[in-house]
């Protein structure tokens, strides 16, 4: 029987882990401040496992290095490669003797880790077939095979059917050479690779959640980015694949295609019911790329969630043009009290001509206003620094953002995802000024005739401080408890965030929480006195002094 070991590489680079920058989330490990890892259930691998187990006899195990990094109490490795060697040589995996090792790579920041994992696995498991899948290997197969001799093949697109056919083949290496859904070192010059999609997603059994220790994914889910609950009873899932839109910054189509494919409503109900009854699920993280592609279908799914008492979340955002009052009320009826809105830009020119995103700013106004009226909190996601964007566009967007009232803004530097049109433009025009394999949404690397990476890093952080703190919508509207919650969440991920302490103190003053006011005020001034970085920011915004209130223990 074949024994497969699926491996998920770290979503973060070693440098970002051990030396997080000022604009990155951190977590304390002993005396060290390390970059924070946000992860979710690897549902692609859970789908692969469920599908092949249903079709053939195979044993499957999963190793997620993000889980290891999140669970470790200290991190003393000199490199990720050292960690990979130690973990892969553990008796658990040596005794398992995997015949196939499959590495799933979703992000550019995992590229070098993928190669290192493959190299260490090859040394330890000389007879194993080592394969890779995901958007990064599928789009970077030439770079991989040019520098790495350990990887045998890369899957082109989704992997359920290609992996099953590989398992069923009598001669696996011969099959890999002949199949148009697998890329090998000998076929890198070919451009005739083909997707082998499952058209009817009902063919995939319930995802293989038994492959996971469910407690490993508690508290580190993508939901934590938005300060939402991510307890053990939360499960990640998808109800469709594909997206017909042509947003220049997106690369999802290189794996899932642009044609929409769906699970049937009957099957969705069956799966959701199983998650509740078998795993005691209370909430679901739905990771569809385009959940709103069919509004009638959305209402049917929301009815199922309501009947089962399951609360959904949509961290990938929902298409704003579909969020009318009826839809928002339906979302509210299933417990949706928080929405992520992928607005991306406040400039109509950038949205239309550069991003090719089907959205107008006027729709954003309407959705945010309706959400406030219905008691739904909103996080607005913004991308700054696309090729073709100008400083005037950014200033226009800034002025627009001051007119809308979300609960929070999420500012990110535009990142050239491999496989996206944006990446192609950057390559064509020579805009990539650093290693794009190390960049993420906090580390810009695009330099155009209009701006440098340093400018984009500074302007995104300036906008964050201005709109989330100085001009915080909830504080301006007198919603001090809600504003305080946002500032305290910021403190949880950056315990040196001077602006978070300053405005948390101001909220506590308004709420008559005097003891907390004293605590936050003291912490603010401690940071101001010891941090040149924050001193500069505080003086740039000319923050007024926090008053010394009566009975302030700091006076004695």
Whether 426 has a pLDDT exceeding 90, the answer reads yes
Which is higher by pLDDT, 70 or 231?
70
State the pairing for strand pair 2-8/234-237.
Answer: unpaired
pLDDT digits (tens, 9 = 90+) for 154-186: 999 999 999 999 999 999 999 999 999 999 999
- The kind and range of the H/E element at 4 are strand 2-8
Q: What is the dihedral of CA 11, 239, 132, 97, to 10 degrees?
A: 90
If phi > 0 it is left, if psi is from -120 to 50 it is alpha, else beta; for residue 73 that is: alpha
Mean pLDDT over residues 237-256, rounded? Answer: 94
pLDDT at 550: 66
pLDDT at 20: 86
Apex 457 CA angle, 405 and 459, nearest 5:
45
pLDDT digits (tens, 9 = 90+) for 292-349: 999 999 999 999 999 999 999 999 889 999 999 999 999 999 999 999 999 999 999 9
pLDDT at 228: 44
How long is the chain?
A: 556
Q: Are 443 and 413 in contact (CB under 8 A)?
A: yes
Q: Which CATH class is domain 233-471?
A: alpha beta
* DSSP 8-state class, residue 544: P
pLDDT digits (tens, 9 = 90+) for 88-138: 999 999 999 999 999 999 988 899 999 999 999 999 999 999 999 999 999
Backbone angles phi, psi at 441, to 5 degrees: -75, 5
Mean pLDDT over residues 269-278, rounded? Answer: 97
State the pairing for strand pair 100-104/283-286.
Answer: unpaired
pLDDT at 121: 98
Task: Report the alpha-carbon distance of residue 113 to residue 120 in Å, rounded.
Answer: 10
Return the closest-CA partner of residue 283 out of 363, 227, 229.
229
pLDDT digits (tens, 9 = 90+) for 453-500: 999 999 999 999 999 999 999 999 999 999 999 999 999 989 999 999
Whether 452 has a pLDDT exceeding 80, the answer reads yes
Show me where the domains of the chain are located: 2-187, 233-471, 473-556
pLDDT digits (tens, 9 = 90+) for 24-44: 788 888 778 888 888 889 999
Mean pLDDT over residues 545-554, rounded? Answer: 71
pLDDT digits (tens, 9 = 90+) for 186-231: 988 877 899 999 999 999 999 999 999 998 987 654 444 444 444 4
Beta bridge partners of 237: 286
CA max distance for the chain: 82
pLDDT at 44: 97
Apex 357 CA angle, 356 and 358, nearest 5:
115
Quote the distance between the C-alpha of residue 30 and its chain's center.
26
pLDDT at 26: 81
Q: State the number of CA atoms in the 13 A half-sphere of 337 facing the CB.
A: 7
State the pairing for strand pair 26-29/32-35.
Answer: antiparallel
Q: What is the dihedral of CA 528, 529, 533, 535, to 10 degrees?
A: 60
Backbone angles phi, psi at 3, to 5 degrees: -120, 115
Average pLDDT of the chain, as a whole number? 92
Give the confidence band of 425 by pLDDT, cuts at 50, 70, 90. Answer: very high
pLDDT at 225: 43
Task: Report the alpha-carbon distance of residue 37 to residue 224 in Å, rounded.
Answer: 10
pLDDT at 276: 97
Q: Are 552 and 519 in contact (CB under 8 A)?
A: no
Contacts of 64 (CB under 8 A, 6+ apart): 7, 8, 39, 42, 216
pLDDT at 219: 60
- The kind and range of the H/E element at 340 are strand 338-344
- The token pair that represents 537 in the structure block: 């920011």
Supply the angle between the helices 160-168 and 43-55 in degrees, to the nearest 10: 40
* DSSP 8-state class, residue 394: H
Strand positions, DSSP E, 107-256: 129-133, 153-155, 182-183, 234-237, 240-241
pLDDT at 556: 37
pLDDT digits (tens, 9 = 90+) for 356-366: 998 888 899 99
Burial class (CB in 10 A: 0-12, 13-18, 19+), 199: exposed
pLDDT at 30: 76
pLDDT at 551: 59
SS3 labels along 279-324: HCCCEEEECCCCHHHCHHHHHHHHHHHHHHCCEEECCCCCCHHHCC
Q: Are 517 and 550 in contact (CB under 8 A)?
A: no
Q: Which CATH class is domain 2-187?
A: alpha beta
CATH for 473-556?
A: 1.25.40.10
């Amino acid at each position: 029987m074949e024994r497969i070991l699926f491996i998920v590489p770290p979503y973060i680079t070693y440098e970002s882990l051990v030396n997080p920058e000022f604009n990155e989330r951190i977590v304390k490990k002993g005396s060290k401040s390390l970059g924070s890892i946000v992860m979710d259930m690897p549902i692609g691998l859970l789908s692969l496992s469920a599908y092949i187990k249903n079709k053939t006899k195979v044993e499957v195990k999963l190793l997620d290095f993000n889980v290891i990094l999140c669970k470790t109490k200290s991190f003393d490795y000199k490199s990720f490669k050292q960690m990979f060697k130690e973990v892969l040589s553990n008796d658990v995996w040596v005794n398992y003797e995997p015949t196939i090792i499959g590495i799933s790579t979703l992000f550019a920041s995992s590229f070098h880790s993928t190669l290192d994992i493959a190299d260490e696995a090859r040394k330890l498991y000389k007879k194993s077939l080592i394969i890779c899948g995901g958007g990064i290997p599928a789009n970077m197969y030439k770079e991989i095979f040019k520098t790495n001799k350990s990887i045998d093949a890369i899957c082109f697109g989704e992997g359920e059917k290609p992996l099953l056919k590989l398992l069923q083949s009598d001669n696996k290496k011969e099959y890999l050479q002949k199949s148009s859904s697998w890329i090998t070192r000998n076929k890198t010059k070919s451009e005739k690779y083909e997707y082998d999609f499952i058209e009817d997603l009902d063919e995939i059994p319930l995802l293989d959640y038994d492959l996971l220790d469910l407690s490993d994914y508690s508290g580190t889910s993508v939901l934590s980015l938005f300060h939402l609950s991510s307890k053990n009873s939360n499960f990640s899932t998808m109800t469709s694949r594909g997206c017909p839109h042509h947003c220049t910054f997106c690369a999802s189509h290189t794996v899932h295609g642009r044609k929409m494919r769906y699970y049937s409503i009957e099957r969705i109900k069956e799966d959701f019911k199983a998650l509740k009854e078998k795993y005691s699920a209370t909430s679901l993280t739905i990771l569809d790329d385009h959940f709103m592609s069919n509004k009638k279908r959305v209402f049917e799914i929301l009815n199922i969630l309501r009947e089962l008492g399951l609360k959904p979340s949509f961290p990938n955002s929902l298409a704003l043009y579909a969020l009318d009052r009826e839809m928002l009320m339906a979302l509210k009826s299933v417990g949706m009290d928080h929405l992520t809105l992928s607005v991306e830009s406040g400039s109509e020119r950038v949205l239309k001509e550069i991003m090719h995103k089907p959205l107008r700013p006027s729709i954003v106004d309407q959705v945010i206003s309706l959400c406030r009226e219905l008691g739904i909190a909103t996080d607005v996601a913004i991308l700054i620094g696309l090729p073709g964007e100008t400083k005037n566009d950014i200033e226009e967007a800034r002025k627009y953002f001051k007119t809308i009232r979300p609960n929070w803004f999420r500012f990110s530097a535009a990142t050239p995802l491999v496989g996206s049109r944006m990446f192609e433009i950057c390559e064509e025009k020579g805009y990539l000024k650093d290693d794009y394999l190390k960049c993420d949404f906090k580390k810009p690397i695009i330099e155009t005739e209009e701006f440098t990476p340093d400018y984009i890093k500074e302007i995104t952080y300036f906008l964050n401080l201005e709109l989330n703190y100085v001009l915080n919508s909830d504080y301006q509207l007198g919603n001090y408890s809600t504003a305080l919650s946002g500032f305290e969440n910021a403190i949880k991920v950056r315990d040196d965030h001077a602006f978070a302490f300053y405005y948390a103190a101001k909220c506590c003053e308004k709420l008559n929480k005097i003891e907390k006011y004293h605590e936050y005020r003291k912490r603010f001034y401690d940071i101001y006195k010891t941090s040149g970085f924050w001193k500069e920011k505080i003086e740039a915004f000319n923050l007024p002094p926090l008053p010394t209130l009566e009975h302030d223990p700091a006076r004695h």
